[in-house]
Amino acid sequence: MMTGQGTLAVVIGGGNGIGEETARLMAERGWRVVIADRDPAAADRVAADVGGAAVTLDIADAAAVDAACAAIEAAHGPVGALVVAAAVFQDVLPPAELPLAVWERTVQVNLSGTYYANRAFGTRMAHHGRGSIVNIASIAAIGSVPVHAYASSKAAVVSLTLNLAGEWGRAGVRVNAVSPGSTLVPRVAERIKSGRYAADPAEFTALGRIVQPREVAESIEFLASDRASAITGINLVVDAGWHVAGTWAQYGGVRPAPVRTVTPAGAAG
């Protein structure tokens, strides 16, 4: 399936995790991909693998984002799609123990950085009369979880997405968000393996498993592409049913699948 048709896509945070998986998928689907990441080695590695270009970028630096946007367009032409996957997480701490520096850095990267990127690239897209932006939020944005800085910043990303979808819709720019649940990226895999989670996240999903990075990437690439040409201002939740199953815990949890009876081939009905 070739859906990019040579359109230029910039994936910020494309050097690892969901961003990396998205960059790889977009390249497979015919997009020309620029990998922007704070880690130059990671950006170079992914860009080399997918035949794209690499840019070193700290999304929390507004001037650097503006400069990167201008440089990318000068070198590669108009940007047709922007994916903002760069983010920082936090430890699970009560408010009294969460350092203010952690709060400020989390909001600066996750919310302000997303805004800087949307502002820089979205404004240029609006002038060109065409473009698509996909911001990565989180399931934490729509539930109650004890990661106060992270969840608040991601909830604000959802709000920002809705606002910019209204702002730029008549200019031909679509803006959407994807909210992944627990996704098996290296950071989450390490937390599960080390026992840093109190329980297996899969226990709290309707599907009984956590999300694979490719599944999130598929949703992102769809929203970025012309297959989603009438979709703007949505927050697409990709969480294996965490938000629908979590409240079942007090009732004993999600029911297991019924035992399937398989009739051997050729047996009488």
The partner residues of 207 in beta bridges, in order of sequence, read none
First to last CA, the chain: 41
At 134-150, the pLDDT tens digits run 999 999 999 889 999 99
pTM (predicted TM-score): 0.92
Name the residue among 68, 59, 69, 10 with its Cα closest to residue 39.
Answer: 59
Active-site annotation holder among 115, 116, 150, 251: 150
pLDDT digits (tens, 9 = 90+) for 78-116: 999 999 999 999 988 999 999 999 999 999 999 999 999
The pLDDT-based confidence of 130 (bands split at 50, 70, 90) is very high
> What pLDDT, in 10s, does the model give residues 160-211?
999 999 999 999 999 999 999 888 777 777 776 676 666 777 888 899 888 9
Domains recognised in the chain with CATH numbers: 8-241 (3.40.50.720)
CB 76 within 8 A of CB 53: yes
Mean pLDDT along residues 228-243: 96
Angle between helices 40-50 and 17-28 (to 10 degrees): 20
Assess contact for 19 and 84: CB atoms under 8 A: no
Q: What's the pLDDT score for residue 200?
A: 78
Looking at residue 194, what is its pLDDT? 72
HSE-CB of 181 using CA atoms within 13 angstroms: 24
Please indicate whether residue 251 is annotated as part of the active site: no
